[in-house]
């Protein structure tokens, strides 16, 4: 079944990036899973669609790592929801993830625009 | 962490995702999507809920345990659902594991467990041998004295010798079994008396009036009386009990009393008479080979000994177990191994058939995204659970079977007090159970992997054609393995039949015998024999009576060293023959034919010229192409309690009799001497009485009364020769009984397996069969078609089995008699039995195939 393969590819592609997006979103305040996905979507100008099948495994993995904590609370719609909160460890993690991401961006830019490299030589 | 924790976490994940769905649907509603579409869209966006959950859960860690619990619950549910399958599979495993556990229990107890003595690895039996003479023999008193004085390889050296006494216990004469030991025997084993004391060094001589009881005798005859020390043991002597030994595991277990062996026994000085069993505890760091070299050198230093004598050591455990039971147990162990293999193949067949039935369920799980590893893990859990259930039931079987084995085999099994299901045995059981589950799980696992690939690629069923060859392999293997076992049992049966029908050279029917032990130095004994031989033939129904110190058809303890006046003596190759002192009517009583010359008569008495009768083998070996009658031979008689020193007189051959053989053995040279011409009188101490009857009843009782009236102090236990011979076949019968049982089990399992395969293939081919019948195929044609397919496989299996049986023949070769592994009669009749059973097992479901209603069959798919 090709569906499963596609799904797996996507998880791999988004691996590091999704963690970063989640942590960055939670920096603004505690949020539940659906809220996180909506926030990422809105803040990316509707470009990034977070797949639910990747979001929850990522949340639970970060939770297991201790980068985020969770608690049950009541949403504005009077629903019981599980909200996630960034921990101190998570903040540190976010900083290092960010710098890694920026390094990656620089490197990508270097590869994609060879002019920069020529001028350096 | 409790089970609740996992359950709650699961529920919370569910709730979290449900909340997500609701919020997503809510948002869509607010954006103006219609109610029902909003929910569907939200769900679609989320994707495969089960898969999301599974992937999320896998982030938690610890999930393998949780999955295991999940798998176990699932397994138990499916096993409960398919109770028929579960019952057959569990029973099959249980039979295989049970039989293996029981046989291994015996194997372990008899052959593997170390002797229960301090540091038993250093205990050895010491044997002597001489090239050119059959087998190994014990040592003589002077040999032992030389070893004891000179050998440096041993911490201790001890002697043991079993014989017989008669005690008067509770007013009745009773035969008891003493084992005489030397001062170092108990210290060598590292055992101390339970009560009282050991013999003092100065008590090791003939007329010491002390006795030490064995534990069993003390319990049996004196009820374990704690005040036994100082009591008189027998009403006919003044011997008092000085000690009671604890049970000496496996060391001469027949022993009633531990007698003492001292240097003042006459036989301790007969150098050439080697009947003592010598044992030793090796010093630390000395190898058995070094000790053998040292002892051999000690023997060869004596000029009286043959220059080519050799000493060999064998571990005490092997010595006490004996050589007879080892091949039987190895054979049985291999046989039950095959049974387990067949049982596993059977379960594999059942599992394959079931995995077909469960295809839809498995397919659904694959489509829902279950990973291959996950499914294999589930399958593995199912197989192990199935095997463990079978193993558990099998262990229960094994307890019963072990008791049964001990019951029927107590005489054949040495060290049988060691035979018990213990931790080590249970470990073995667990091992073979898990091994079996891996074995029978392999085929379904391979099927699953292929299925997974097929479904993952196309999303539908595929690759069915690949299934058939593997099932064929299972049938062929099962038939082949079963045939090997059946052939084994067939060969043993044929051997036993050959042995029973064999002409031993005498007539064992209508022959009664009783063994007598008479007191030492009793001057009335010769007169007693005389009266016995005069009066027994006068009893009604008695045709002839005789005494002799050998038993026809049984191993002789005595051998005669021969020398001939007309040829030089070679000390390296002393001619020997089995020896026997007999009364005049011995050959008539035992039914041994006199071929030439004459029998002994009343005239061959103490004062007459010394005479002997030889058997055919002896005549041929020592007087080839000559007439032995009238020739002379000197006989030096050896064996327990037989004098072999002093001058040997020449005796003249007066007759030749036919060979008397032991079952399964060729004729050996034998020499017969008139018992009245034994000047030493040693022969009078122990003789066997023979009575040939005409078959009327009551002779046994009259014989007992007569013997009791002549000598009230004699215990009389009369047995019949044919029963005694049958008893000597007991180890073979034991092996045959068990092997037949296992062969039968294998046959049954193979039948169940074949039945299953055919029934399954018929059910899968309902449609095809329906079409054939609709096109006009007759009932018989359908049955024929189904049978032909399976019987082709059975035929291949039979050929494979016959080849396999030949390849395995070395396991059984030593137990065959009058037949060989490639016996065409046994091979063909065993194959016929297998074919018949396979045919019947296939015919039942084939007949069902023919009763398929074509209309229904075509409609059903």
What confidence score (pLDDT) does residue B566 get?
Answer: 86
* Chain A contact set for B47 (CB, 8 A): 7, 51-53
Nearest chain B Cα distance for residue A107, angstroms: 31
Does the pLDDT at position B459 exceed 50?
no
The answer to whether B19 contacts A79, with C-beta atoms less than 8 Å apart, is: yes
The answer to whether A82 contacts B46, with C-beta atoms less than 8 Å apart, is: no
Q: Which two tokens stand for residue B670?
A: 């034998």
Instruction: List B656's β-bridge partners, or say none.
Output: B596, B614
Return the residue of B nearest to A49 by Cα: B45
R_g (Cα) of chain A, nearest Å: 17
Which single residue is written with the structure tokens 């007999």?
B582
What confidence score (pLDDT) does residue B93 get?
Answer: 94
Q: Which two tokens stand for residue B342?
A: 């067949």
Q: Which of B10, B11, B23 to mutate to test the interface with A (most CBs of A within 10 A)?
A: B23
Q: Which of A52, A72, A76 to mutate to test the interface with B (most CBs of B within 10 A)?
A: A52
* Burial of residue B372 (number of CB atoms within 10 Å: 0-12, 13-18, 19+): middle
What is the pLDDT averaged over residues B638-648? 60
pTM: 0.75
Return the residue of A nearest to B54 by Cα: A57
What confidence score (pLDDT) does residue A13 get?
Answer: 42
Return the residue of A nearest to B25 by Cα: A34
* Chain B contact set for A7 (CB, 8 A): 47, 51
Instruction: Say yes or no: B52 contacts chain A, CB-CB below 8 A.
Output: yes
* Burial of residue B33 (number of CB atoms within 10 Å: 0-12, 13-18, 19+): middle
Instruction: Say yes or no: B50 contacts chain A, CB-CB below 8 A.
Output: no
Answer whether B609's CB lies under 8 Å from B530's CB. no
Does the pLDDT at position B46 exceed 80?
no
* pLDDT (tens digit per residue) in B129-185: 887 676 788 898 899 999 999 999 999 999 999 888 888 888 888 889 999 999 999
Q: Do the domain assignments include residue A74? A: yes
SS3 call for B533: helix
Q: Which of A56, A64, A66 to mutate to test the interface with B (most CBs of B within 10 A)?
A: A56
Please state, for a pLDDT cut of 90, what percent of chain B lies above it: 46
What is the pLDDT averaged over residues B332-346? 93
Answer whether B688's CB lies under 8 Å from B514's CB. yes
Tally of domains within chain A:
1
The answer to whether A79 contacts B456, with C-beta atoms less than 8 Å apart, is: no
Does the pLDDT at position B679 exceed 80?
no
As a residue count, chain A comes to 121
Q: Which two tokens stand for residue B763?
A: 């059910």
What confidence score (pLDDT) does residue B131 get?
Answer: 75
* Chain A contact set for B30 (CB, 8 A): none
Q: Do the domain assignments include residue A120? A: no
* Burial of residue B560 (number of CB atoms within 10 Å: 0-12, 13-18, 19+): buried
Nearest chain B Cα distance for residue A82, angstroms: 6
Look up the ipTM and state it: 0.80
Instruction: Say yes or no: B87 contacts chain A, CB-CB below 8 A.
Output: no
* pLDDT (tens digit per residue) in B76-115: 888 888 888 899 999 999 999 999 999 999 999 998 888 8
**CB within 8 Å of B192: residues ≥ 6 apart:** B186, B198, B246
* Chain A contact set for B12 (CB, 8 A): 72, 82
Instruction: Say yes or no: B47 contacts chain A, CB-CB below 8 A.
Output: yes
The answer to whether B17 contacts A64, with C-beta atoms less than 8 Å apart, is: no
A-B Cβ pairs (cutoff 8 Å, strict): 71
SS3 call for B307: coil
The answer to whether A38 contacts B27, with C-beta atoms less than 8 Å apart, is: yes
Nearest chain A Cα distance for residue B16, angstroms: 6
Which of B14-28, B151-165, B497-511 has the least mean pLDDT? B14-28
Answer whether B389's CB lies under 8 Å from B481's CB. no
* Chain B contact set for A79 (CB, 8 A): 19, 22-23
Mean pLDDT of chain B: 86
Nearest chain B Cα distance for residue A50, angstroms: 10
SS3 call for B10: helix
The answer to whether A1 contacts B456, with C-beta atoms less than 8 Å apart, is: yes
Measured CA to CA in angstroms, residue B391 lies from A42, B570, B859 at distances of 61, 63, 43
CATH number of the domain enclosing A32: 1.10.10.10
Measured CA to CA in angstroms, residue B397 lies from B96, B99, B106, B131, B390 at distances of 10, 8, 14, 49, 10
* Chain A contact set for B55 (CB, 8 A): 11, 53, 56-57
Nearest chain A Cα distance for residue B17, angstroms: 9
* Chain A contact set for B456 (CB, 8 A): 1, 4
Rounding to the nearest 10 degrees, give the CA dihedral for residues B205, B208, B210, B214. 30
pLDDT tens, per residue, chain A with 121 residues: 344 444 443 333 445 688 888 999 998 889 998 889 888 888 887 777 777 778 888 888 888 888 899 888 887 778 888 899 999 998 988 888 888 888 888 888 888 886 654 444 3
β-pair type (B123-129, B310-315): antiparallel
What confidence score (pLDDT) does residue B642 get?
Answer: 62
Answer whether B260's CB lies under 8 Å from B203's CB. yes
Q: Do the domain assignments include residue A21? A: yes
Which of A4, A57, A81 is nearest residue B19 as measured by Cβ atoms? A81
Which of B52, B59, B60 is nearest residue A53 as measured by Cβ atoms? B52
Query: How does residue B643 score in pLDDT terms, banded at 50, 70 and 90?
Result: low
* Chain A contact set for B369 (CB, 8 A): 1, 4
The answer to whether B23 contacts A34, with C-beta atoms less than 8 Å apart, is: yes
Q: Do the domain assignments include residue A56? A: yes
What is the pLDDT averaged over residues B253-277? 85
* Chain A contact set for B46 (CB, 8 A): 52-53
Answer whether A51's CB lies under 8 Å from B47's CB. yes
Which of B301-305, B607-611, B736-740 has the least mean pLDDT? B301-305
Answer whether B517's CB lies under 8 Å from B667's CB. no
Nearest chain B Cα distance for residue A102, angstroms: 27
Which of A68-77, B97-106, B819-828, B834-843 has the least mean pLDDT? A68-77
The answer to whether A81 contacts B58, with C-beta atoms less than 8 Å apart, is: no
Q: Do the domain assignments include residue A121? A: no
The answer to whether B46 contacts A53, with C-beta atoms less than 8 Å apart, is: yes
SS3 call for B640: coil
What confidence score (pLDDT) does residue B465 get?
Answer: 40
The answer to whether B367 contacts A1, with C-beta atoms less than 8 Å apart, is: yes
What confidence score (pLDDT) does residue B336 get?
Answer: 94
Answer whether A113's CB lies under 8 Å from A105's CB. no
Nearest chain B Cα distance for residue A28, angstroms: 20
Instruction: List B314's β-bridge partners, or say none.
Output: B125
Specify which of B331-340, B564-573, B780-789 reaches the highest per-range mean pLDDT: B331-340
* Chain A contact set for B24 (CB, 8 A): 34
The answer to whether B51 contacts A53, with C-beta atoms less than 8 Å apart, is: yes
The answer to whether B17 contacts A56, with C-beta atoms less than 8 Å apart, is: yes
What confidence score (pLDDT) does residue A119 get?
Answer: 45
Domain limits for position A95: 2-115
Instruction: List B770's β-bridge partners, or say none.
Output: none
Q: Which of B130, B140, B125 is CA-nearest to residue B275?
A: B140
Which single residue is written with the structure tokens 């066997």?
B688
Q: How many CB atoms lie within 10 A of CB B735?
A: 26
Return the residue of A nearest to B59 by Cα: A61
* pLDDT (tens digit per residue) in B389-446: 999 999 999 999 999 999 988 777 888 888 889 999 999 999 999 998 888 888 778 8
SS3 of B480-522: HHHHHHHHHHHHHHHHHHHHHHCCCCCCCCCEEEEEEECCCCC
Which of B19, B27, B47 is nearest residue A53 as measured by Cβ atoms? B47
* Chain A contact set for B58 (CB, 8 A): 57
**CB within 8 Å of B185: residues ≥ 6 apart:** B158, B159, B160, B279
Does the pLDDT at position B265 exceed 50?
yes
What confidence score (pLDDT) does residue A120 get?
Answer: 42
Q: Do the domain assignments include residue A27? A: yes
Nearest chain B Cα distance for residue A114, angstroms: 40
Query: How does residue B573 score in pLDDT terms, banded at 50, 70 and 90?
Result: confident
Does the pLDDT at position B466 exceed 70?
no
Instruction: Say yes or no: B230 contacts chain A, CB-CB below 8 A.
Output: no
- What distance in Å separates the CA atoms of residue B853 and residue B849, rounded to the nearest whole number? 9
């Amino acid at each position: 079944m090709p569906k499963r393969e596609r799904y797996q590819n996507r998880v791999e592609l988004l691996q590091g990036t999704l963690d970063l997006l989640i942590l960055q979103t939670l920096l603004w305040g505690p949020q539940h899973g659906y809220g996180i996905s909506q926030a990422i979507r809105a803040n990316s100008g509707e470009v990034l669609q977070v797949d639910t099948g990747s979001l929850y495994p990522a949340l639970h993995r970060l939770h297991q790592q201790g980068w985020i904590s969770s608690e049950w609370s009541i949403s504005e719609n009077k629903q019981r929801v599980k909200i996630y909160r960034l921990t101190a460890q998570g903040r540190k993690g976010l900083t290092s993830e960010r710098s890694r991401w920026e390094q990656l961006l620089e490197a990508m830019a270097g590869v994609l625009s060879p002019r920069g490299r020529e001028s350096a030589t | 962490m409790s089970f609740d924790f996992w359950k709650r976490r699961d529920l919370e994940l569910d709730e979290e995702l449900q909340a997500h769905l609701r919020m997503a649907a809510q948002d869509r509603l607010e954006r103006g999507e219609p109610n029902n579409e909003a929910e569907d869209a939200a769900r679609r966006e989320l994707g495969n809920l089960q898969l999301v959950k599974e992937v999320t859960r896998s982030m938690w860690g610890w999930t393998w345990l949780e999955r295991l619990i999940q798998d176990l619950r699932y397994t138990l549910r499916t096993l409960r659902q398919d109770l028929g399958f579960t019952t057959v599979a569990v029973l099959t495993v249980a039979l295989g594991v049970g039989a293996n556990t029981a046989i291994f229990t015996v194997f372990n107890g008899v052959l593997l467990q170390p002797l229960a003595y301090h540091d038993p690895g250093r205990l050895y039996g010491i044997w002597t041998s001489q090239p050119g003479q059959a087998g190994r023999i014990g040592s003589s008193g002077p040999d032992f004295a030389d070893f004891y004085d000179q050998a440096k390889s041993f911490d201790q050296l001890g002697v043991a010798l079993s014989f017989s006494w008669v005690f008067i216990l509770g007013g009745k004469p009773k035969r008891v079994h003493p084992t005489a030991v030397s001062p170092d025997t108990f210290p060598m084993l590292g055992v101390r008396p339970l009560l009282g004391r050991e013999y003092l060094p100065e008590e090791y001589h003939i007329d010491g009036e002390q006795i030490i009881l064995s534990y069993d005798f003390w319990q049996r005859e004196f009820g374990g009386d704690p005040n036994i020390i100082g009591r008189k043991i027998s009403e006919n002597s003044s011997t008092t009990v000085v000690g009671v030994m604890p049970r000496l595991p496996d060391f001469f277990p027949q022993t009633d009393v531990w007698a003492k062996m001292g240097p003042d026994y006459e036989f301790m000085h007969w150098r050439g008479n080697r009947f003592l069993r010598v044992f030793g505890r090796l010093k630390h760091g000395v190898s058995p080979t070094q000790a053998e070299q040292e002892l051999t050198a000690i023997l060869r230093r004596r000029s009286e000994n043959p220059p080519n004598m050799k000493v060999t050591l064998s571990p005490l455990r092997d010595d006490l177990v004996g050589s007879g039971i080892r091949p039987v147990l190895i054979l049985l162990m291999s046989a039950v191994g095959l049974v387990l293999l067949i049982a596993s193949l059977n379960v594999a067949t059942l599992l394959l058939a079931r995995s077909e039935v469960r295809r839809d369920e498995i397919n659904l799980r694959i489509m829902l995204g279950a990973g291959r590893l996950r499914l294999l893990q589930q399958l593995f859990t199912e197989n192990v659970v199935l095997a463990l259930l079978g193993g558990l039931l099998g262990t229960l079987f094994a307890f019963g079977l072990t008791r049964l084995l001990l019951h029927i085999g107590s005489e054949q099994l040495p060290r049988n007090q060691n035979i018990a299901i213990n931790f080590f045995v249970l470990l073995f059981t667990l091992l073979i159970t898990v091994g079996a589950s891996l074995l029978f799980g392999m085929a379904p696992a391979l099927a699953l992997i292929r299925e997974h690939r097929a479904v993952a690629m196309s999303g539908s069923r595929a690759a069915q054609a690949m299934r058939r060859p593997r099932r064929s392999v299972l049938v062929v293997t099962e038939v082949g393995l079963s045939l090997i076992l059946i052939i084994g049992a067939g060969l043993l049966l044929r051997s036993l039949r050959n042995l029973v029908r064999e002409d031993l050279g005498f007539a064992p029917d209508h022959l009664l015998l009783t063994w007598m032990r008479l007191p030492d130095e009793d001057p009335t004994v010769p007169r007693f024999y005389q009266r016995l031989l005069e009066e027994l033939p006068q009893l009604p129904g008695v045709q002839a009576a005789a005494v002799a110190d050998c038993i026809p058809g049984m191993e002789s303890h005595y051998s005669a060293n021969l020398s001939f006046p007309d040829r030089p003596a070679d000390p390296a190759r002393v001619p020997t023959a089995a020896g026997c002192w007999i009364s005049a009517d011995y050959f008539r009583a035992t039914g041994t034919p006199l071929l030439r010359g004459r029998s002994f008569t009343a005239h061959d008495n103490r004062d007459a010229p010394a005479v002997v009768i030889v058997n055919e083998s002896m005549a041929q070996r020592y007087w080839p192409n000559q007439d032995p009658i009238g020739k002379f031979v000197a006989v030096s008689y050896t064996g327990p309690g037989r004098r072999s020193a002093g001058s040997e007189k020449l005796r003249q051959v007066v007759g030749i009799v036919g060979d008397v053989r032991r079952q399964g053995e060729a004729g050996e040279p034998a020499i017969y001497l008139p018992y009245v011409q034994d000047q030493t009188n040693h022969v009078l101490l122990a003789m066997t009485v023979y009575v040939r009857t005409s078959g009327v009843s009551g002779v046994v009782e009259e014989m007992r009364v007569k013997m009791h009236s002549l000598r009230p102090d004699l215990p009389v236990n009369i047995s019949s020769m044919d029963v005694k011979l049958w008893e000597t076949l007991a180890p073979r019968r034991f092996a045959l009984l068990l092997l037949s049982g296992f062969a039968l089990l294998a046959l049954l399992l193979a039948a169940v397996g074949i039945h299953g395969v055919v029934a399954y293939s018929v059910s899968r081919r309902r449609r095809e069969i329906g079409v054939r019948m609709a096109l006009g195929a007759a009932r018989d044609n359908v049955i024929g078609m189904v049978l032909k397919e399976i019987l082709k496989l059975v035929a291949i299996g039979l050929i494979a089995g016959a080849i396999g049986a030949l390849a395995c023949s070395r396991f059984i070769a030593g137990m065959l008699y009058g037949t060989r592994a490639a016996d065409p009669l046994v091979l063909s009749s065993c194959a016929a039995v297998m074919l018949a059973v396979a045919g019947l097992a296939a015919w039942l479901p084939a007949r069902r195939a023919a009763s398929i209603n074509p209309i229904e069959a075509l409609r059903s798919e």
